[in-house]
Structure 1
């Protein structure tokens, strides 16, 4: 499994957006469980559950009102939250015997963190027992979460997500008399806008477009992966990756263009950036005068009307939990429309089909006021990459250095990808050798 989603996903926590679950439309997750609860005449015995937040940023479910909502729904459950930190990571929990009932973790870390530490548990039977409606989730979002393990088991349920979009600075477009971007543009149309807004003017260099190449590749719209699904080797020097490299490199080869960080968007000299949606709140806070708006991500003509692969945070009921039913009740409530609406209003992306929840995104975040929030859900998410067989070697793949070297050294895509594939294959062999010792 690839390990590069986590940093971007943790941005939701960094921005202070509420992070919790998903509910859905007329067929709601947890609806059956609620009906069963209503039939019970006897009060349920009290139970304390531990939720471990595996992300690097702390999560405060009390401040968001999620714990209050949970207590109203399930008064017998007390939820103890442990945030990841020094002395409180997976090995520490195991060593201390503090085994969590629920884990909050990036879905892309299912193999390397949840499964590697023995916490994975297939929740399929729990979902059936509690009549959790999986159909209320966006199918590709659920599929992406399940694809993080080789057998596509229901180890985690998608909880919240980062949505990619194209953000633009109106002042730069106004300065050069260029029409604003619009929803539904292609990458070619976006490139034409970048050509018109990448220039030096009045002693200031303006960049027409920027993005994080590594995120663009790992979340790519072609749904291709860098590692072979059946063999211990890289699959990087291919036509699909060449297309993706060529599509993105042209933006950074325009006169006056350079590889600048999307973090520089707040400076007011970048016309457009493709990035995960929490990033814009940080930019707007850093520069309150930033005159921005947002449209859908550009689409590839080779794969029209498709967004990026989902970048998802998930909830996992652990196999070590002695209270799996109660833990799933918590997960189900976290994924209810009630809780998800709270989170959406605070800026979290939702994995639900529910249009009401989607349209509420950012409603309580001042920086999102009056913005084209529908752009975040303009296209369906790309389907997941084929899962890799469980026996294969897992190595991290970071396209950032390879892409930057291609631009700096002015080499062609074939050469850049051939070199990178060789490097990843060497990493696989090194990892296999280390494991064999």
Structure 2
């Protein structure tokens, strides 16, 4: 489950920016009674009640514009789970936050509005716990035609073509590239709509040099300490490659498709198209031993250090690049980067589908809401044009309305690249990880055998067979005792299946 990104929205908002928001609340917003005091109850799938970030991000302006409506955050989880497993009793299993939310939605004093993760939305829809929004949208002539297709279509996919929620913001990734490195190699810049194969071919053409002077063509992450096994999730997710079956009881990695993926990654690694992964401990030692006068804060960022021509970044990382360029004169050894972004590469088997595209603020109306009118008023408010205009100036995430999807601070780059692809559906795996909280350990087995392939100790298919066998043994352990830590010794004792 995604954690909140604690970025406070300024508490003081200019009166001039509040005027259109107040006007929006007074026209066509359902219940127009502005005097009677009412309570609007909101619950999130995190379940921890009052949260400063939530209020600053979503409710602060609404409460200012509607002083007669009191926002009450509903707590559905015990506070001890907020701080991790350290405060839990030995063997205690954390309650499923989504199940706790569903209980609250059907309880005696249910929340009116619920906020969930993208992967959770379909569960609530199929359980008939949410109110369909299409009739309300049509009745109030609430315009959603300006929504980013990836957002609105992604939400509809979770509701069998219907809208049961809206999301005012989203987060996404794109492919960033260093123009100078392409110019020096005489290679054309990347473009929107490339396939992964086309991207890797460009990377081969721009990679050059040897040893410490090597220039690499592509990296899944700009950070030198990244782990290729986990970083390549963005490559495998659109292919719907599964590690387990639907029940999380049998492995599914001994397949031709998985073999093709691993061979592709190993080939890129062996050809030195991607930078080698650096040991985080060695990176720390080098950092501590560096003369303060020679310290480069970006020495472990392959993109800002101009060691890699293309890499994948999230929209929130743009600020780091912009700030680095602004401060270039004060950073020894750093050269400003001339850059732009294009949409993430896609697979021919899954056109138009990206990897890391998510939504922040997916909110729907509880089917048993006690105050459905104000619930719809609230959802319309934070998904309206005025809210989008305000947040586009201060929010590090992207607003869902295309009209306000523009670069900030006078920058000029291809911001539409972040909004071109539909989200990859990870519904089945999300459900498994939610129900079997220790199953992540089975992926660690895969990481270990993948390292053997990278080191040339074994072939890709044999390694996958090993993961399949060891993983099946580990899954059996979890089936016998869902709360148990997997006995890796027993798992690794299983022979490779022939």
> Which TM-score applies when normalising by structure 1?
0.68
Work out whether residues 113 and 375 of structure 2, in 8 Å CA contact, stay in contact via their aligned partners in 1: yes
Task: Give 1:419's aligned residue.
Answer: 466
Task: Give 1:226's aligned residue.
Answer: 243
Task: Give 1:188's aligned residue.
Answer: 197
Q: 2:408 aligns with which of 360, 363, 379?
A: 363
Q: 1:290 aligns with which of 322, 337, 361?
A: 337
Moved more, 129-138 or 227-236: 129-138
Q: Match of 1:240, SS?
A: helix
Distance 1:276 1:144, change over 3 A: same
Are residue 47 (structure 1) and residue 85 (structure 2) matched? no
Unmatched runs of 5 consecutive residues or more in structure 2: 11-23, 84-93, 222-227, 279-299, 327-335, 485-498
Distance 2:471 2:164 in 1: 28
Distance 2:172 2:237 in 1: 13
Q: Match of 2:28, SS?
A: helix
Distance 1:277 1:199, change over 3 A: same
Are residue 334 (structure 1) and residue 382 (structure 2) matched? yes
Are residue 244 (structure 1) and residue 261 (structure 2) matched? yes
Distance 1:434 1:332, change over 3 A: farther
Task: Give 1:23's aligned residue.
Answer: none
Are residue 37 (structure 1) and residue 30 (structure 2) matched? yes
Distance 1:202 1:407 in 2: 19
Work out whether residues 162 and 276 of structure 1, in 8 Å CA contact, stay in contact via their aligned partners in 2: yes
Work out whether residues 346 and 354 of structure 2, in 8 Å CA contact, stay in contact via their aligned partners in 1: yes
> Which TM-score applies when normalising by structure 2?
0.61
Work out whether residues 222 and 240 of structure 1, in 8 Å CA contact, stay in contact via their aligned partners in 2: no
Q: 1:217 aligns with which of 230, 233, 243?
A: 233
Distance 2:464 2:9 in 1: 37
Distance 1:278 1:194 in 2: 24
Distance 1:316 1:382, change over 3 A: closer
The C-alpha deviation readout for 1:381-419, integer Å capped at 9, x for no partner, is 155256479799543375782555532346443233333
1:135-154 aligned at under 5 Å gives the runs 141=151
Q: 2:271 aligns with which of 254, 263, 267?
A: 254
Are residue 107 (structure 1) and residue 154 (structure 2) matched? no
Work out whether residues 173 and 271 of structure 1, in 8 Å CA contact, stay in contact via their aligned partners in 2: yes
Q: 2:453 aligns with which of 391, 396, 406?
A: 406
Are residue 277 (structure 1) and residue 284 (structure 2) matched? no
Work out whether residues 182 and 188 of structure 2, in 8 Å CA contact, stay in contact via their aligned partners in 1: yes
Task: Give 2:493's aligned residue.
Answer: none
Distance 1:341 1:110, change over 3 A: same
Distance 1:389 1:347 in 2: 26
Distance 1:36 1:303, change over 3 A: closer
Are residue 124 (structure 1) and residue 170 (structure 2) matched? no
Distance 2:210 2:41 in 1: 59
Are residue 163 (structure 1) and residue 172 (structure 2) matched? yes
Work out whether residues 114 and 364 of structure 2, in 8 Å CA contact, stay in contact via their aligned partners in 1: yes
Q: 1:74 aligns with which of 62, 66, 90?
A: 66
Deviation at 1:211, TM superposition (A): 0.6
The C-alpha deviation readout for 1:261-296, integer Å capped at 9, x for no partner, is 895433332211123322333344356423321112
Work out whether residues 249 and 479 of structure 2, in 8 Å CA contact, stay in contact via their aligned partners in 1: no
1:289-308 aligned at under 5 Å gives the runs 289-308=336-355
Q: Which of the pair has the greater relative contact order for Cα pairs under 8 Å at 6+ separation?
A: 1
In our comparison, the structure showing a higher alpha carbon Rg is: 2
Count of aligned pairs between the two proteins: 397
Distance 1:198 1:333, change over 3 A: same
Distance 1:124 1:110, change over 3 A: closer
Work out whether residues 199 and 206 of structure 1, in 8 Å CA contact, stay in contact via their aligned partners in 2: yes
Task: Give 2:481's aligned residue.
Answer: 434
Distance 1:320 1:306, change over 3 A: closer
Superposed CA RMSD in Å reads 5.0
Work out whether residues 210 and 260 of structure 1, in 8 Å CA contact, stay in contact via their aligned partners in 2: no
Deviation at 1:298, TM superposition (A): 1.8
Distance 2:54 2:322 in 1: 25
Q: Match of 1:234, SS?
A: coil
Deviation at 1:231, TM superposition (A): 6.6
Are residue 312 (structure 1) and residue 386 (structure 2) matched? no
Distance 2:479 2:36 in 1: 50
Distance 1:89 1:385, change over 3 A: closer
Work out whether residues 107 and 158 of structure 1, in 8 Å CA contact, stay in contact via their aligned partners in 2: no
